[in-house]
Structure 1
Amino acid sequence: MPTLEHQSAQPENPFSRLVPDQTIAIVPEFTLESGFVIRDVPVAYKTWGTLNNAGDNCMVICHPLTRSVDVEDWWSNLMGSCGLEGKGKVIDESKFFVVCLNVLGSPYGSASPLTLNPETGAQYGPEFPLATIRDDCRLHKLVLDDLRVKSVAICIGGSMAGMHVFEWAMLGDYVKLIVPISAPAKSSAWSISWTEAQRHSIFADPKYLDGYYSLDCPPLQGMTAARMTAMLTYRTRDSYERRFGRDMMDQPRPFVENGSNVPAAATVHRLTHNEGHSQTQKDQLRTTANMPTPVDSPSISGYSTPLIEKENAASVAYEPPQYAAHSYLRYQASKFNERFDANCYIALSRKMDAHDISYGRGNYEDVVHSIQQPVLVIGIESDILYPMPEIQALSNLLPHSELMIVRSAEGHDGILLEHEQINDRIVAFLQKHDHIREILAQEGVAVPKKGPRATLFASW
């Protein structure tokens, strides 16, 4: 295979700049599972450590749905040194050549709705073709070949990344061990129903425009609703109850002007009714309050919106009571909107819906049973997105499987939050296998010292 061209920047995609020090390989041509051919395909990736002479000390870390290839940003608690016995860290870059590759459809550097279609010279937008989990693994294998990787010692990933882990396993002896965390071998009706609800939140935003929106005017209201829905699947009822209960946020004092801080009743009712709708709406109300005389607003579905009179201008600073749980969801959605794209979210969610390792390969049970690698299957006991009975049944089908149940009340988010349990169990799994022990027994390479980092990726 010819050496791939590499670049370090993607000017047309502002989100790619959020990922430090990644490399973007350009695959000249790639045929998707659908049969559609895409050209000049960017694939973003990041590596740690050094590939050994045998090319067999590669550890592939797959990234979750809304994360980038910067593993240090979201799984730094699993990074460190590992020995032949005892405690250690899974991601030992002094011994392993660690690689994380960005999937198709992600906003962080690989081909997606945000990258240029070489046929038109414009961004793909909603015309980006549907790609599958299987497409990602086949494409990423080309990049690993370019990096001179001969085999993968272990492949690890959670949630959507765990779906990729199962597809990597279908490459046979090329991948020696796999660790899927809270992930299915095929998506269930339950999980694809959640993603459908999230997509329709985006579709309902009038700014969505069938995906032909400007990046300067994205469908943020739809994204907010989609993200809030997703956040509910990542935790549990008990988690929210324990953390928030019915707590209220501290409210600012009402604004005082001309000696009055008493808002008009209609204004109080309207602001309470629309509490949490958007900051933009509140800014519009402030502008309206400064009008010299009241102006009637148009009627919508039989309701007229009373405007704020000048003498009640102080009332627009009135803040209705806000539940702590509401505040949490709004904050998470706001941070998400700063770092993600709606078309990419749709593309990735459809990819997850299509996931089924048995598609085109035969009976599902037979295909799962054909996986010969040792597998550490990890499930979260309180996960409502991929519940433990589903993970248990999958583990039972795998011929060389070990099952670990993570004890956590935090639901699907336990993948990131219960890092100590997950790390220790994977380390013990690593230390049991001869090819891993040979890697761990080798003299390690020097690892650059890492300092504290700020992050945009503090949530799923």
Structure 2
Amino acid sequence: MTSVHPHTDQRAGTGEPPASGAWDPSHGAGDRLFARIGDLALESGAVLPQVTLAYETWGELSPRGDNAVLVLHALTGDSHVRGPASTAHATAGWWEDLIGPGRPVDTDRYFVVAPNVLGGCQGSTGPASLAPDGRRWASRFPDLTVRDQVAAEAALMAQLGLERWALVIGGSMGGMRALEWAATLPGAVERLAVIASGARASADQIAWNSAQLAAIEADGGFLGGEYYDQPDGAGPHRGLGVARRIAHTTYRTAYELEERFGNRLQPHPDGGVQEGYPQVTSYLDHHAAKLSRRFDANSYRVLVRAMNSHDLGRGRGGTAAGLGRITARTLVVAIESDRLFPLPLVEEIRDGVPGSTWRVESSPIGHDAFLVTNPHLERWITHLLEDG
């Protein structure tokens, strides 16, 4: 990782919540870098004061400043694109097959920047952060849009002294931000890779997201978002776990779940009179528990609501007009089995971005296929970077 950049600082700590209990931002953020970008005017007309973005970098910026790559994470991801799990990061890097020495985004050639999204809970300003009055934002944190998040990342870019990205790449929610980058600041994006994402939120996505939001808000520990200072680590952990179960089901396919689990049972962890419980239920319980330990429910709500608002055509004359603003050399990747971002939704990007390259990946996994080892995706990204 490179040294601290101008106008940034580093803080000690783990950057992760304790194993149980409400999210506690005092646990710090490990070895992440921090950019203090100041006040940020939002699309709503509100101003979010004293904004900080956490980020990580790999590689070295070239003398001409022409080798910078922006990597944008999905909903519950963070800046830790590569590297082991540690006290600073609860999980290992989430895209190590794609980014690193000798990988398609070769950190021996490129300067890679990965920010934690505005509104997140891994070091960037979000609901668990302290507001100027010294209290946590909690329920007072304003609604954000994807454009607001990109505006914060553009401020980070300016602090880093960068004028143009050689590549902006993201999948899922990260793909939404990547598209918004290329439409809002077309001159700043040379190449664009959008993977398993869309130019707008669909009714189906908003419906699934609404169920997740309702699960969190129905938890008795939610307290209208004012749960941080409750005794004994009280918080909407059950509701967040239900939200994760719903989301994870949309990230995978019925075929994969059937092949892996069927209706097979296993011993129930709590014992009792049951002979067992479904393996697929155990699988979803596992993912729910993992997320509840490392993610803030208020941040989850802020980010999901931002995704619901995503519309590249808003104020630009419609989706086609918004996509037509993009001038970057663009790779659009769809996953054939993706039931969250189905082919017709991703095809809108293909059809709207002039001269885009279209690829479809066949995978039994579904949406999450963009996060697993994928030789096709690696080859397509390599070709995009070598083109021109």
Q: Deviations over 1:22-71 (max 9, x none)?
A: 11111222111111112221110110111111112100000111011010
Kept after mapping to 2: 8 A contact 1:80/1:93: yes
Instruction: Give the direction of change, closer, same or farther, for the CA distance of 1:407–1:17 in structure 2 (3 Å limit).
Output: farther
| Identity rate, percent | 35
Kept after mapping to 2: 8 A contact 1:90/1:427: yes
Secondary structure at 2:38 match in 1: strand
Kept after mapping to 1: 8 A contact 2:25/2:129: no
Distance 2:311 2:42 in 1: 16
Residue among 341, 352, 367 paired with 1:386:
341
> Corresponding residue for 2:357?
402
Residue among 278, 283, 298 paired with 1:323:
278
Residue among 187, 190, 193 paired with 2:204:
190
Q: CA deviation at 1:81?
A: 4.0
Residue among 97, 102, 108 paired with 1:77:
97
Distance 1:49 1:224 in 2: 36
- 1:101 to 2:118 alignment: no
Instruction: Give the direction of change, closer, same or farther, for the CA distance of 1:362–1:149 in structure 2 (3 Å limit).
Output: same
> Corresponding residue for 1:176?
190
Secondary structure at 1:362 match in 2: coil
Secondary structure at 1:44 match in 2: strand
Q: CA deviation at 1:361?
A: 1.9
Residue among 200, 204, 208 paired with 2:214:
200
Q: CA deviation at 1:319?
A: 4.7
Secondary structure at 2:326 match in 1: coil
Distance 2:101 2:135 in 1: 45
Q: Deviations over 1:193-233 (max 9, x none)?
A: 11111000111111111111136111111111111000110
Q: CA deviation at 1:367?
A: 2.0
> Corresponding residue for 1:156?
169
Residue among 32, 44, 49 paired with 2:59:
49
Distance 1:372 1:28 in 2: 30
> Corresponding residue for 2:228?
214
> Corresponding residue for 1:130?
143
Secondary structure at 1:395 match in 2: helix
Residue among 259, 266, 273 paired with 1:249:
266
Q: CA deviation at 1:15?
A: 5.5
Residue among 8, 13, 16 paired with 2:11:
8
Distance 2:73 2:188 in 1: 20
Kept after mapping to 2: 8 A contact 1:114/1:125: yes
Distance 1:351 1:251 in 2: 38
Please identify runs of 4+ aligned residues in structure 1 that moved more than 6 A. 10-13
Q: CA deviation at 1:16?
A: 7.9
TM-score (ref. length: structure 1): 0.75
- Gaps spanning 5+ residues in structure 2: where? 1-5, 18-22, 83-92
- Gaps spanning 5+ residues in structure 1: where? 83-88, 253-281, 283-315, 434-460
Q: Deviations over 1:354-381 (max 9, x none)?
A: 1111212223212212312111000100
Distance 1:27 1:208 in 2: 30
Secondary structure at 2:358 match in 1: strand
Please, which moves more after superposition, 375-384 or 410-419? 410-419
> Corresponding residue for 2:43?
33
Secondary structure at 1:366 match in 2: helix
> Corresponding residue for 1:371?
326
- 1:236 to 2:250 alignment: no
Secondary structure at 1:231 match in 2: helix
Q: CA deviation at 1:172?
A: 1.2
Secondary structure at 1:140 match in 2: helix
Secondary structure at 2:265 match in 1: coil
- 1:167 to 2:177 alignment: no
User: For this pair of structures, how many residues does the alignment match?
Assistant: 363
Q: CA deviation at 1:137?
A: 1.3
Distance 2:378 2:12 in 1: 33
Kept after mapping to 2: 8 A contact 1:373/1:400: no
TM-score (ref. length: structure 2): 0.89
Q: CA deviation at 1:91?
A: 2.1
Instruction: Give the direction of change, closer, same or farther, for the CA distance of 1:328–1:15 in structure 2 (3 Å limit).
Output: farther
Q: Deviations over 1:251-283 (max 9, x none)?
A: 58xxxxxxxxxxxxxxxxxxxxxxxxxxxxx7x
Distance 1:35 1:50 in 2: 37
Residue among 364, 383, 387 paired with 1:428:
383
> Corresponding residue for 2:296?
341
Instruction: Give the direction of change, closer, same or farther, for the CA distance of 1:5–1:373 in structure 2 (3 Å limit).
Output: closer
- Cα RMSD after superposing both structures: 2.1
